[in-house]
Amino acid sequence: MPRLQCPKCKAKKGTWKVRRNSRVCIECRHEWNPKSLHLRLSKSQWNQILKWFLLEQSSNNIAELTKLSKKRVLRALAYARIEMCKDIPEAFSGIVEVDETYLRGKWINKRKSTRDLGTKRGRGTSKQPVFGILCRSGLVWAEIVDGVGAGTLQPLIKEHVKLGSTINSDTWKGYTGIATQGYVHRLVKHSEGEYSDKNGTHINGLEGFWGYLKRKLAAKGGITRDKLWLYLAEYVWRYNNRNLSADQKVKKLLKLICNRRLIGG
């Protein structure tokens, strides 16, 4: 029997069964129910759902507009976000910006020990760290990470950035030594009030994306930690496809859905 593929990390290394027939991925520990993967909507229904979703309508509004149950709409939106997560740019090259940020999910869902730490800002905060890479062409990639040390960040850079590229970063120690990995490394000294130099060294593009991401998440009223990766994927996809028309976005996302065979008759 073939191993199940995790909808989050796409690994097929195996799962184990937990409550209510759910499975947990050995690789990333994501929990999901394989039976819920058998969602079938017609192409017309998907088209309507995606149209209103990309116009940033709420799930309640989408259910009302499409005459579908809210449960089916929520499942469809979860699948759409999973497909967005898979639609990532190829390896970046040229001048590339790297940076990390911290996102705060719904405070009520955090452990008391975490809440007791307060909301300290910057590195060392109890918020969720996210690492991002942006190419000067305007495309971005971002992922939730467990930490921001060199052992976490530098392998991600090597995976998503071609050797020989120029890496722009701040002076965080997690990037120290990246030049020895086959990259040109240029620093922006934020601690000295420097945000750009005469050579065009800056990470303003990625910081602009972080601002966009946080505004969008704030408008949601807070996202639980287990769903944060889905919303991160959504806004990375929206940002990368921001120059497409509304119809083009729907067609592109619908094609991804078709490839997953989630469309019924």
Render pLDDT for 58-110 as a digit per residue (tens, 0 to 9). Answer: 999 999 999 999 988 998 999 999 999 989 888 999 999 999 999 975 533 44
Same domain for 126 and 176: yes
Same domain for 99 and 29: no
Same domain for 48 and 125: no
Domain with 25 in it = 15-87+244-259
CA 189, chain centre distance (Å) = 27
| CA atoms of 138 and 264, how far apart (whole Å) | 36
Amino acid letter, 23: R
Instruction: Name the pLDDT band for 241 (thresholds 50, 70, 90).
Output: very high
In a domain? residue 116: yes
In a domain? residue 73: yes
Same domain for 159 and 128: yes
Residue that wins the pLDDT comparison between 181 and 11: 181
In a domain? residue 19: yes
Same domain for 99 and 204: yes
**Stretch among 120-129, 145-154, 251-260 having the lowest mean pLDDT:** 120-129
Same domain for 156 and 207: yes
Same domain for 62 and 31: yes
> Cβ distance 187 to 170 under 8 Å?
yes
Same domain for 195 and 138: yes
Q: Which two tokens stand for residue 185?
A: 């490394």
pTM above 0.75, yes or no: yes
Same domain for 37 and 136: no
- Of 188, 218, 206, 224, the closest CA to residue 78 belongs to 224
* Mean of pLDDT values over 153-163: 96
pLDDT in tens, 165-190: 999 998 899 999 999 999 999 988 76
Q: Which two tokens stand for residue 136?
A: 């000067």
Same domain for 73 and 152: no
Same domain for 46 and 27: yes
Total domain count, the chain? 2
Residue that wins the pLDDT comparison between 172 and 39: 172
pLDDT at 36: 55
| CA atoms of 107 and 119, how far apart (whole Å) | 10
Same domain for 210 and 99: yes
| CA atoms of 95 and 112, how far apart (whole Å) | 42
In a domain? residue 234: no
Instruction: Name the pLDDT band for 120 (thresholds 50, 70, 90).
Output: very low
In a domain? residue 2: no
Give first-to-last CA distance, the chain, whole Å. 28
In a domain? residue 133: yes
